Structure 1
């Protein structure tokens, strides 16, 4: 998650949101999904659950990068400060280094709003049941497959959405990924919204129908099921970010999956080598099984030497941002990312941001990250890739845990952006007037 606060107004509920509400699977008590994450004695992460702090006097991208390199996960950015997640030991380290930290309200609670309970959101178990319900309801449009398993053995699924779903056709493919960071539960709701909204509107909505006829869409609702279960299923939020993979030689648990990708991994001060850090990159690229599962799936879509996936969004919270590569360098262009590549990324990104009211910018305009999925998607696979930071804009809206009452509004808010990406996916360079140069054989 990465964020910048702005002053744009809130969009109102749309008709699509009302449809989503009518189709939504009811949320009940959250069932534990086996295998359980049990430990005979408290681990370091259980003893020191992270808190959020405002760090004053951090104003520039360079200063934010320097702070992030200390091991803090930056959640929110203003012109004069940032909000970070840190455990008590890291908070003490930052204060010793001269940073001015102010503790913020507990997870899911602020002066303005709070999530009523983790049951506001689908659990991993109820998410899987919801997917099965949609597949049964729309068997000609949806197909679920297990693409691998998490460290603790939970299924990681991809759901294909297309008008001829049983056939692997020669159509542009688009991938949507969600819940890479455990505490970002609104992104799972985004995945479920996309599946039921597009499936239910096929044959009713002209744009949706055309896209399901002309595209193959893949939705991975949860990349990090172990972390999601750990953060949510105890009945209280734990502010957990990483996966649940132990680290050899350390009592600290977990790797930040979004610093673990094998493109410029650990190159540039945009991740941490400390296992206790929120942004720990792992001992090696793709060391997290969840990273390998998704990377292997993406590579499996190479047919006849050509990558079939042309565009991708990785959904996160919070901040209301549309970001594009690269994250590892402040430069707009770099090896493998030409000016035209950058301009096409920006043109489509800006169009999506106009549709949902988010802010559009290059990832590194916030601070440097390395080993991110967006950089890997473009740098390794030449897939146009975006990171969406969903609602809220700031911690005052609930931070990582906004109330369930906003779910339908905030997922429907991205319908137009999803359609825009789908419509551009056959030739992203059309957005800059260079279709003939890049997209015609």
Structure 2
């Protein structure tokens, strides 16, 4: 982006007229754990490293956001040893608290929450298989964003499985403390890092 600043009119306009924030990773402990246990890549640890006190570790951070948290036990789990353990309460984890507070302190219009993997572009709703009132906007964005990479796009239930307490749904659905954010998740690549 910055490489073309000053020489590309569109890039120059975006840099001059938009605020762009990059949070490289919200689960550093889980990432480091994957690096240590699978140094050649392919680690499947998805949760943070919270000690749940019962011999199990971790909360799935993408089940720990407040909107429709714990909606059912299919889109997240109340069981600490589960891969989709949602935690003890919405925003129980410092990682999701930081993202929540960051969103509340900025007037975001669009977010991209990068994950691996699947060559997918996912947008709300995740907690149910239903379209949002802004489905035409999400679809138009998705068609534009996937025209060259051929990612499949839709909501989590259409593409994978139901997910509740997840970031996209909270960013889009929570409209009391903040304005709605058009939130999407590119699931990048054919495998975990």
* Correspondence for 2:20: 217
1:324 equivalent in alignment to 2:116: no
* Correspondence for 2:135: 342
Taking structure 1 as the reference length, the TM-score comes to 0.41
Q: Deviations 1:146-201 (Å, cap 9, x if unpaired)?
A: xxxxxxxxxxxxxxxxxxxxxxxxxxxxxxxxxxxxxxxxxxxxxxxxxxxx1222
**Greater Rg over alpha carbons, structure:** 1
Distance in 2 of aligned mates of 1:290 and 1:342 = 29
What does 1:29-428 align with in structure 2 at a 5 Å threshold?
198-233=1-36, 236=39, 237=41, 238-248=43-53, 250-268=54-72, 269-301=74-106, 308-333=107-132, 338=133, 341-365=134-158, 366-380=160-174, 381=178, 382-392=180-190, 399-401=191-193
Distance in 2 of aligned mates of 1:313 and 1:275 = 28
DSSP 3-state at the match of 2:84: coil
Distance in 2 of aligned mates of 1:344 and 1:231 = 36
TM-aligned CA deviation for residue 204 of structure 1: 2.4
DSSP 3-state at the match of 1:360: strand
Distance in 2 of aligned mates of 1:296 and 1:342 = 26
Distance in 1 of aligned mates of 2:189 and 2:7 = 28
Gaps of 5+ in 2: none
The structure with the greater share of residues assigned to helix is 1
TM-aligned CA deviation for residue 235 of structure 1: 6.3
Q: Deviations 1:53-111 (Å, cap 9, x if unpaired)?
A: xxxxxxxxxxxxxxxxxxxxxxxxxxxxxxxxxxxxxxxxxxxxxxxxxxxxxxxxxxx
Distance in 2 of aligned mates of 1:327 and 1:239 = 21
Gaps of 5+ in 1: 1-197, 302-307, 393-398, 402-441
DSSP 3-state at the match of 2:59: coil
TM-aligned CA deviation for residue 234 of structure 1: 5.5
Runs of 4+ in 1 over 2 A off after TM superposition: 233-239
Distance in 1 of aligned mates of 2:151 and 2:135 = 19
Distance in 2 of aligned mates of 1:347 and 1:224 = 30
Distance in 1 of aligned mates of 2:164 and 2:124 = 11
Change in 2 beyond 3 A, CA 1:234/1:204: farther
DSSP 3-state at the match of 1:298: helix
Q: Deviations 1:20-61 (Å, cap 9, x if unpaired)?
A: xxxxxxxxxxxxxxxxxxxxxxxxxxxxxxxxxxxxxxxxxx
Taking structure 2 as the reference length, the TM-score comes to 0.90
The structure with the greater share of residues assigned to strand is 1
